[in-house]
Structure formats: structure tokens, C-alpha cells
Amino acid sequence: MSTLARVRATLWRTALQAVPTVFGIVILVFFLLQLVPGDAVDVLAGESGGISEEGLAMLRASFGLDQPVLVQLLAYLDHLAHFSLGYSPRYNTPVMDLILSRLPGSIVLMLLSQIIAIAVGIALGAIMAAWAGRWPDRLLSLAALLLYSTPGFWVGLMALVVCSVWLGWLPSGGDVTIGADLRGWAWLKDFAAHAVLPVTALAGFFVAIYARLVRASMLEISRQDFVRTAHAKGLAPFVVTVRHVLRCALVPLSTVAGMHLGTLLGGAVVIETVFSWPGLGRLALEAVMARDYAVLLGILLLSSLTVIVANLLVDLLHAWLDPRIQTR
């Protein structure tokens, strides 16, 4: 089968799998949310106060919250079929618009932290494997284990204390300086200064995971027969390590990186809160507090879809990294 045909087959298979998964998630979460006491109107009423019973009923009717659960579910599925995520009672905006406005922030945060984590993880892992059992390995292993054991939000808070409160090097929150109205390079520099701490705090945990994984897989692979063959050919140790060992270690790394995407989204919720970063994670938390289920469901769906797409990318990456794997 040609590469293109295999890619197309994989895409098609994923699309077919995604539909029941999304359907299942919608139904599961929808019913779970029905168990939650109170709704968005209660929260609104609580905040503004003094809304009459009739007013509440009218609000509920306008958002369809007075309908039976099944009707609400069907209405939601109908929205989905028309590529709409419904309407947010709290923000008084279509959920899609709300999510799209927060999406770039989250994507930048997560993408940057993943790229950094993978690059640093591979480098540290390779160093640890090369010096396995000796002091550079022991030191880095301990550091990785510490990082692996530290909550990201705490790393963020401590970094904030040091870099922003004590040293005053970096801003403490948000994504750009409010009211500065910068353009071009100045904007980019300002944005980068704001992004350093959240990206680092989010990346830390993953650096630890990837470094540990790369180390373990490289040690495992370096015991394989084909590595002995490579040495028997007279290749230099560095060539053997990079071309034969590291190349193979990328396969488990890509698997684990794909698997941890869900963890990444969860981590983003907390990190965004710590640094007041305008992203989806904070939106999700706000939606929970406000009992704004349309928004919450929208975010959950979107993140599930992201996980599905990421798995697809990992599958394709695998097929490219490891010729033994036929894209199923």
C-alpha cells in the first residue's frame, strides 16, 4: 500500500472512531452534569440578587433549562450536528466564540511547553543514558525525580516569588501588559516575558517524564543485538548512540507524549489560574463555578477531540519512525 493510501486509511479510521467516542462523551458528561446541584441561572441569581421567581423561570426558558433532560440532550446533539456548541447563559455569547477567543492562549502555552519538554527531555535522557550509573546520571536522575514529584503550580508560584517578586525580572501574570498597546517586536518581547514562567512551570513535569523515559528506553535498546552489530561494524560510539539507539527510543517517546496530552490539558487549568493566563483551562474552571454547562461541555468535547487528533498524529508519526508498524 502506498504511503498516501495508508495515511488516508488512517484518517478515515480515526474519523469513524471519533464519532462514537464524541457521542459517548457527550452523553456521559451530559448526564453527569445533570447530577450537579444548581444551574447557571441559580448562580446568576445568587450573584445579582433580587430576581423574582418569574424572572428566573423566564431566564430558564430562554436557555432551554426548563426542558426535560432528554429534550435538552437532543437539542444539544442537534446543535452539534450543525457544528455549533450552543449558547452560554453566563457570558451571553455562543460557546464557540468564547472558546475560539481563549484557544490561541492555550495552544501557545501547551505547544511551547511540549516542544521545550521534548527537546530538553531527549537531551537530558541521552546524557543520563550515556553516563549511566556515574555521577552525571545520578545527579540528573535525582533532579528529574524531584521535578517529577513537584506539583507544577507550586513550581510556578515559587518561580513567581523568585523571578517576579524578589528579582523583578518577569511580569507576574496575564499574557501582555495591560493597556500598553504594543505592536510588532515590542509586543512579541512583552508576550515572551509573560510566557516564560507559565511555559516553564507547565513544561517542568514533562521534562522529567520524557528524560526518564528516554534514559530507560536508551538503556534498554543499547542491550539489543542490533546495537552489538553496529559496534561490530566499527562505528563510533556517538554514531551508534544517535543513529541506532536514540532513533529507536523516539518510538516509545512519541507514544508517551501522545498519552500525556490529557495530563497536559489538566496541568494547563492550574497553571493558567496561577498566572492569570487567558486560556481554556481557566475558562473551564470559571464555567464549573458558574454552572455554565454549555461552556464546560464544549471545552471537554474540544479537548477530547484534541486527544483523538493527537493520537492520530502519534499513529502517523509511529508509522514513519518505525516501519514495522503498519497503520492499522
Site string for other proteins, 159-198 (x = CB under 8 A): -xx---x---------------------------------
Distance CA 89, CA 40 (A): 7
- Kindly identify the residues of this chain, within the stretch 30-59, that bind other proteins according to CB under 8 A: 32-33, 35-37
- Kindly identify the residues of this chain, within the stretch 124-163, that bind other proteins according to CB under 8 A: 133, 145-146, 148-151, 153-154, 157-158, 160-161
Which residues, 6 or more positions from 304, have their beta carbon under 8 angstroms from its beta carbon?
21, 22, 25
236 belongs to the binding site for other proteins (CB under 8 A): yes
Distance CA 328, CA 309 (A): 16
Distance CA 44, CA 56 (A): 9
231 belongs to the binding site for other proteins (CB under 8 A): yes
Distance CA 83, CA 70 (A): 20
| Residue 214, CA distances (Å) to 64, 115, 238, 263 in order | 51, 15, 16, 19
- Taking CB atoms within 8 Å and a gap of at least 24, the contacts of 229-236 are none
Using CB under 8 A, count the residues that bind other proteins: 70
Question: Out of 170, 308, 313, 317, which residue is the one contacting other proteins (CB under 8 A)?
Answer: 308
Nearer to other proteins, 187 or 285 (CB): 285
Q: What type of residue sits at position 158?
A: M
Binding site for other proteins (CB under 8 A): 20-21, 24-25, 28-29, 32-33, 35-37, 133, 145-146, 148-151, 153-154, 157-158, 160-161, 165, 219, 223-226, 228-236, 243-244, 247-248, 251, 261-263, 265-267, 269-270, 273-274, 284-285, 288, 291, 296, 299-300, 303-304, 307-308, 321-324, 328
